[in-house]
Structure 1
Protein backbone atom coordinates (compact mmCIF):
# COMPACT_ATOMS: atom_id res chain seq x y z
CA UNK A 1 0.00 0.00 0.00
CA UNK A 2 1.28 3.42 -0.90
CA UNK A 3 -0.10 6.84 -0.06
CA UNK A 4 1.32 10.22 0.94
CA UNK A 5 2.38 8.83 4.36
CA UNK A 6 3.69 5.35 3.53
CA UNK A 7 5.60 3.56 0.82
CA UNK A 8 7.18 0.14 0.35
CA UNK A 9 10.11 -0.54 -1.98
CA UNK A 10 11.85 -3.81 -2.82
CA UNK A 11 15.49 -2.76 -2.66
CA UNK A 12 18.52 -4.76 -3.76
CA UNK A 13 20.82 -4.26 -0.81
CA UNK A 14 24.53 -4.68 -1.43
CA UNK A 15 27.93 -3.44 -0.33
CA UNK A 16 26.77 -3.40 3.31
CA UNK A 17 24.76 -0.22 3.02
CA UNK A 18 21.26 1.16 2.91
CA UNK A 19 20.79 4.91 2.84
CA UNK A 20 18.39 7.81 2.89
CA UNK A 21 19.42 11.08 1.28
CA UNK A 22 17.75 14.40 0.53
CA UNK A 23 20.45 15.50 -1.88
CA UNK A 24 22.29 14.08 -4.86
CA UNK A 25 24.70 11.18 -4.53
CA UNK A 26 28.02 12.24 -3.00
CA UNK A 27 31.15 10.11 -3.07
CA UNK A 28 32.59 12.20 -0.21
CA UNK A 29 29.54 11.70 2.05
CA UNK A 30 29.47 7.96 1.23
CA UNK A 31 32.83 7.22 2.85
CA UNK A 32 33.03 4.94 5.89
CA UNK A 33 35.72 5.54 8.49
CA UNK A 34 36.80 3.07 11.18
CA UNK A 35 34.43 4.54 13.81
CA UNK A 36 31.55 4.65 11.28
CA UNK A 37 32.02 0.91 10.72
CA UNK A 38 32.07 0.29 14.47
CA UNK A 39 28.85 2.27 15.08
CA UNK A 40 27.15 0.85 11.97
CA UNK A 41 26.27 4.22 10.45
CA UNK A 42 27.56 7.27 8.60
CA UNK A 43 25.40 10.19 9.67
CA UNK A 44 25.30 13.57 7.93
CA UNK A 45 22.55 16.17 8.18
CA UNK A 46 20.78 15.14 4.96
CA UNK A 47 22.62 11.95 3.96
CA UNK A 48 22.58 8.89 6.23
CA UNK A 49 23.97 5.44 5.56
CA UNK A 50 23.31 2.37 7.71
CA UNK A 51 24.85 -1.07 7.82
CA UNK A 52 22.04 -3.51 6.90
CA UNK A 53 24.01 -6.23 8.83
CA UNK A 54 23.63 -9.24 6.47
CA UNK A 55 26.71 -9.04 4.23
CA UNK A 56 25.48 -10.71 1.04
CA UNK A 57 23.61 -8.93 -1.74
CA UNK A 58 19.88 -9.56 -1.34
CA UNK A 59 16.48 -8.06 -1.98
CA UNK A 60 14.49 -6.78 0.97
CA UNK A 61 11.34 -4.80 1.57
CA UNK A 62 11.94 -1.31 2.90
CA UNK A 63 8.95 0.28 4.62
CA UNK A 64 8.93 4.09 4.63
CA UNK A 65 6.48 5.94 6.83
CA UNK A 66 5.63 9.47 7.89
CA UNK A 67 3.96 9.72 11.30
CA UNK A 68 3.66 12.02 14.31
CA UNK A 69 4.85 9.39 16.77
CA UNK A 70 7.34 6.52 16.51
CA UNK A 71 6.31 3.06 17.72
CA UNK A 72 9.01 0.41 17.58
CA UNK A 73 8.15 -2.79 15.71
CA UNK A 74 8.06 -5.91 17.93
CA UNK A 75 10.26 -7.67 15.34
CA UNK A 76 13.03 -5.05 15.54
CA UNK A 77 16.55 -6.37 16.03
CA UNK A 78 18.34 -2.99 15.75
CA UNK A 79 16.94 0.51 16.09
CA UNK A 80 18.75 3.81 15.56
CA UNK A 81 17.39 7.37 15.52
CA UNK A 82 19.10 10.38 13.97
CA UNK A 83 18.16 13.93 12.99
CA UNK A 84 17.49 14.26 9.26
CA UNK A 85 17.09 17.51 7.32
CA UNK A 86 15.05 17.81 4.12
CA UNK A 87 15.65 20.82 1.86
CA UNK A 88 13.41 19.60 -0.96
CA UNK A 89 10.87 16.85 -0.22
CA UNK A 90 10.80 15.97 -3.93
CA UNK A 91 14.46 14.90 -3.90
CA UNK A 92 14.51 12.35 -1.08
CA UNK A 93 15.67 8.86 -1.97
CA UNK A 94 16.20 5.47 -0.39
CA UNK A 95 19.13 3.68 -1.97
CA UNK A 96 21.79 1.01 -1.85
CA UNK A 97 25.03 0.86 -3.79
CA UNK A 98 23.20 -0.63 -6.79
CA UNK A 99 19.80 1.06 -7.00
CA UNK A 100 17.72 3.98 -5.74
CA UNK A 101 14.05 4.87 -5.38
CA UNK A 102 12.41 8.26 -4.99
CA UNK A 103 10.58 8.53 -1.70
CA UNK A 104 7.03 9.59 -2.54
CA UNK A 105 5.72 10.31 0.95
CA UNK A 106 5.06 13.99 1.65
CA UNK A 107 8.12 15.23 3.50
CA UNK A 108 7.28 18.91 3.88
CA UNK A 109 8.97 19.75 7.20
CA UNK A 110 12.62 20.84 7.21
CA UNK A 111 13.64 18.52 10.08
CA UNK A 112 12.74 14.97 11.09
CA UNK A 113 13.68 12.41 13.65
CA UNK A 114 14.52 9.49 11.36
CA UNK A 115 14.13 6.03 12.89
CA UNK A 116 15.93 3.08 11.27
CA UNK A 117 14.85 -0.44 12.16
CA UNK A 118 16.19 -3.81 11.07
CA UNK A 119 13.41 -6.34 11.56
CA UNK A 120 13.21 -10.07 11.14
CA UNK A 121 10.30 -12.45 10.71
CA UNK A 122 10.33 -14.93 7.80
CA UNK A 123 12.74 -12.56 6.05
CA UNK A 124 14.78 -9.51 7.01
CA UNK A 125 13.06 -6.20 6.29
CA UNK A 126 13.84 -2.57 7.03
CA UNK A 127 11.78 0.35 8.27
CA UNK A 128 12.45 4.07 8.09
CA UNK A 129 10.04 6.25 10.05
CA UNK A 130 10.05 10.03 9.61
CA UNK A 131 8.68 12.04 12.53
CA UNK A 132 8.57 15.84 12.01
CA UNK A 133 10.30 17.77 14.79
CA UNK A 134 11.43 21.30 15.59
CA UNK A 135 14.53 20.36 17.61
CA UNK A 136 17.18 17.88 16.37
CA UNK A 137 17.09 14.60 18.28
CA UNK A 138 20.29 13.07 19.61
CA UNK A 139 21.53 10.31 17.29
CA UNK A 140 21.53 7.09 19.31
CA UNK A 141 20.68 3.42 19.58
CA UNK A 142 17.21 2.84 21.01
CA UNK A 143 17.68 -0.83 22.01
CA UNK A 144 20.50 -3.19 22.88
CA UNK A 145 21.25 -5.43 19.93
CA UNK A 146 23.35 -8.52 19.20
CA UNK A 147 25.81 -6.56 17.01
CA UNK A 148 27.11 -4.21 19.71
CA UNK A 149 24.44 -1.53 19.72
CA UNK A 150 23.81 -0.30 23.26
CA UNK A 151 20.54 1.36 24.25
CA UNK A 152 20.95 5.15 24.67
CA UNK A 153 24.53 5.09 23.30
CA UNK A 154 25.09 8.30 21.34
CA UNK A 155 26.17 8.00 17.72
CA UNK A 156 28.64 10.45 16.21
CA UNK A 157 27.91 12.48 13.11
CA UNK A 158 30.18 12.77 10.10
CA UNK A 159 33.12 10.80 8.72
CA UNK A 160 34.91 9.10 11.62
Structure 2
Protein backbone atom coordinates (compact mmCIF):
# COMPACT_ATOMS: atom_id res chain seq x y z
CA UNK A 1 0.00 0.00 0.00
CA UNK A 2 1.34 3.41 -0.99
CA UNK A 3 2.17 5.82 1.82
CA UNK A 4 0.71 9.18 0.75
CA UNK A 5 0.16 10.98 4.08
CA UNK A 6 2.15 11.59 7.24
CA UNK A 7 1.78 14.02 10.14
CA UNK A 8 4.62 15.10 12.41
CA UNK A 9 4.45 17.23 15.56
CA UNK A 10 7.43 19.48 14.92
CA UNK A 11 9.09 21.71 17.53
CA UNK A 12 9.58 24.83 15.42
CA UNK A 13 12.32 27.26 16.39
CA UNK A 14 14.70 29.77 14.84
CA UNK A 15 11.93 30.78 12.38
CA UNK A 16 12.39 27.84 10.07
CA UNK A 17 10.75 24.74 8.70
CA UNK A 18 13.15 22.80 6.50
CA UNK A 19 12.20 20.25 3.86
CA UNK A 20 15.24 18.58 2.36
CA UNK A 21 16.41 15.68 0.25
CA UNK A 22 19.98 15.75 1.56
CA UNK A 23 21.81 16.11 4.86
CA UNK A 24 21.55 19.24 6.99
CA UNK A 25 23.58 22.05 5.44
CA UNK A 26 24.28 25.22 7.42
CA UNK A 27 24.92 27.27 4.27
CA UNK A 28 21.57 26.26 2.72
CA UNK A 29 19.80 27.64 5.84
CA UNK A 30 21.29 31.14 5.68
CA UNK A 31 18.71 33.91 5.37
CA UNK A 32 19.57 36.84 3.10
CA UNK A 33 17.57 40.06 3.01
CA UNK A 34 15.43 38.94 0.04
CA UNK A 35 14.90 35.48 1.61
CA UNK A 36 13.58 37.14 4.78
CA UNK A 37 11.24 39.38 2.77
CA UNK A 38 9.81 36.49 0.75
CA UNK A 39 9.69 34.03 3.68
CA UNK A 40 11.61 31.24 1.93
CA UNK A 41 15.05 29.99 1.00
CA UNK A 42 14.78 27.91 -2.16
CA UNK A 43 17.39 25.41 -3.37
CA UNK A 44 16.64 22.56 -5.79
CA UNK A 45 16.56 19.86 -3.09
CA UNK A 46 16.52 21.91 0.13
CA UNK A 47 13.90 24.52 1.05
CA UNK A 48 13.42 26.52 4.24
CA UNK A 49 10.16 28.30 5.04
CA UNK A 50 9.42 30.97 7.61
CA UNK A 51 6.70 29.55 9.91
CA UNK A 52 5.66 33.20 10.65
CA UNK A 53 5.14 33.12 14.45
CA UNK A 54 8.39 34.17 16.14
CA UNK A 55 8.61 31.99 19.25
CA UNK A 56 9.55 28.34 19.59
CA UNK A 57 6.39 26.23 19.51
CA UNK A 58 5.10 22.82 18.52
CA UNK A 59 2.84 22.45 15.50
CA UNK A 60 1.52 19.69 13.32
CA UNK A 61 2.95 19.50 9.82
CA UNK A 62 0.79 17.45 7.46
CA UNK A 63 2.77 15.91 4.61
CA UNK A 64 0.94 14.62 1.55
CA UNK A 65 1.77 13.08 -1.82
CA UNK A 66 -1.03 13.95 -4.26
CA UNK A 67 -1.81 13.89 -7.98
CA UNK A 68 -2.94 17.52 -7.81
CA UNK A 69 -3.01 20.34 -5.28
CA UNK A 70 -6.12 21.56 -3.47
CA UNK A 71 -5.75 24.73 -1.41
CA UNK A 72 -6.84 24.35 2.22
CA UNK A 73 -9.73 26.77 2.93
CA UNK A 74 -7.99 27.80 6.19
CA UNK A 75 -4.68 28.66 4.44
CA UNK A 76 -3.31 32.08 5.39
CA UNK A 77 -0.18 31.73 3.20
CA UNK A 78 0.52 29.42 0.29
CA UNK A 79 3.77 29.12 -1.66
CA UNK A 80 4.69 26.68 -4.43
CA UNK A 81 8.33 25.86 -5.21
CA UNK A 82 10.06 23.33 -7.46
CA UNK A 83 11.63 20.50 -5.46
CA UNK A 84 13.90 17.70 -6.61
CA UNK A 85 14.06 14.45 -4.65
CA UNK A 86 17.63 13.28 -5.21
CA UNK A 87 17.44 10.43 -2.69
CA UNK A 88 13.96 9.27 -1.54
CA UNK A 89 15.52 7.55 1.50
CA UNK A 90 17.00 10.81 2.83
CA UNK A 91 14.05 13.20 2.67
CA UNK A 92 13.46 14.96 6.00
CA UNK A 93 11.20 17.57 7.54
CA UNK A 94 13.10 19.54 10.17
CA UNK A 95 13.49 22.63 12.30
CA UNK A 96 16.56 23.85 14.14
CA UNK A 97 15.43 21.69 17.10
CA UNK A 98 14.53 18.31 15.55
CA UNK A 99 14.07 16.31 12.36
CA UNK A 100 11.84 13.51 11.09
CA UNK A 101 12.27 11.12 8.19
CA UNK A 102 9.63 11.68 5.52
CA UNK A 103 7.95 8.33 4.97
CA UNK A 104 5.94 9.13 1.84
CA UNK A 105 6.41 6.97 -1.26
CA UNK A 106 8.54 9.53 -3.08
CA UNK A 107 10.59 8.80 -6.16
CA UNK A 108 13.81 10.30 -7.49
CA UNK A 109 12.23 13.06 -9.60
CA UNK A 110 10.89 16.63 -9.66
CA UNK A 111 7.87 17.72 -7.67
CA UNK A 112 5.83 20.86 -7.17
CA UNK A 113 6.04 21.45 -3.40
CA UNK A 114 3.16 23.42 -1.88
CA UNK A 115 3.69 24.99 1.57
CA UNK A 116 0.59 26.20 3.42
CA UNK A 117 0.33 28.04 6.73
CA UNK A 118 -3.15 27.25 8.04
CA UNK A 119 -5.13 28.41 11.02
CA UNK A 120 -7.72 26.26 12.74
CA UNK A 121 -7.95 26.06 16.53
CA UNK A 122 -4.18 26.48 16.36
CA UNK A 123 -1.68 27.08 13.60
CA UNK A 124 -0.68 24.09 11.47
CA UNK A 125 1.24 23.54 8.26
CA UNK A 126 0.77 21.49 5.12
CA UNK A 127 3.39 20.38 2.65
CA UNK A 128 1.93 18.75 -0.44
CA UNK A 129 4.13 17.16 -3.10
CA UNK A 130 2.75 16.75 -6.61
CA UNK A 131 4.89 14.94 -9.24
CA UNK A 132 5.91 17.35 -12.00
CA UNK A 133 7.55 16.82 -15.38
CA UNK A 134 8.82 20.39 -15.48
CA UNK A 135 10.09 22.87 -12.89
CA UNK A 136 7.18 24.89 -11.54
CA UNK A 137 7.89 28.59 -10.98
CA UNK A 138 8.33 29.46 -7.29
CA UNK A 139 5.58 31.89 -6.32
CA UNK A 140 2.85 32.88 -3.88
CA UNK A 141 -0.54 31.35 -4.63
CA UNK A 142 -2.57 33.86 -2.62
CA UNK A 143 -2.31 37.31 -1.05
CA UNK A 144 -1.42 37.08 2.63
CA UNK A 145 -1.21 39.33 5.69
CA UNK A 146 2.64 39.15 5.76
CA UNK A 147 3.25 40.77 2.38
CA UNK A 148 2.83 37.79 0.06
CA UNK A 149 1.20 38.78 -3.21
CA UNK A 150 -0.60 36.23 -5.38
CA UNK A 151 1.50 35.20 -8.42
CA UNK A 152 4.60 37.13 -7.23
CA UNK A 153 7.64 35.10 -8.23
CA UNK A 154 10.13 34.06 -5.53
CA UNK A 155 13.89 33.94 -6.07
CA UNK A 156 16.07 30.94 -5.40
CA UNK A 157 19.35 30.67 -3.52
CA UNK A 158 20.83 32.95 -0.86
CA UNK A 159 19.66 36.48 -1.66
| TM-score w.r.t. length of structure 2 | 0.98
Is the 2:69–2:130 contact (alpha carbons within 8 Å) kept by the matching residues of 1?
yes
Aligned to 2:41: 42
Aligned to 2:78: 79
Aligned to 1:53: 52
Note the residue ranges of structure 2 that are not aligned, 5 or more in a row: none
Moved over 6 A (4+): none
Aligned to 1:9: 8
Write the deviation string for residues 56-99 of structure 1: whole angstroms up to 9, x where unpaired. 10000000000000000000000000000001111000000000
1:19 deviates by 1.0
Write the deviation string for residues 104-151 of structure 1: whole angstroms up to 9, x where unpaired. 001114100000000001000000000001100000000000000000
In structure 1, distance between residues paired with 2:19 and 2:5: 15
* Counterpart mapping for 1:1-160 below 5 A: 4-160=3-159
Is the 2:115–2:128 contact (alpha carbons within 8 Å) kept by the matching residues of 1?
yes
In structure 2, distance between residues paired with 1:29 and 1:17: 12
Is the 1:109–1:132 contact (alpha carbons within 8 Å) kept by the matching residues of 2?
no
Q: How many residue pairs are counted as aligned between the two chains?
A: 158
Write the deviation string for residues 14-49 of structure 1: whole angstroms up to 9, x where unpaired. 000001000000011110001100000000000000
Q: CA RMSD in A?
A: 0.7
Note the residue ranges of structure 1 that are not aligned, 5 or more in a row: none
For 2:29, what is the secondary structure of its paired residue? coil
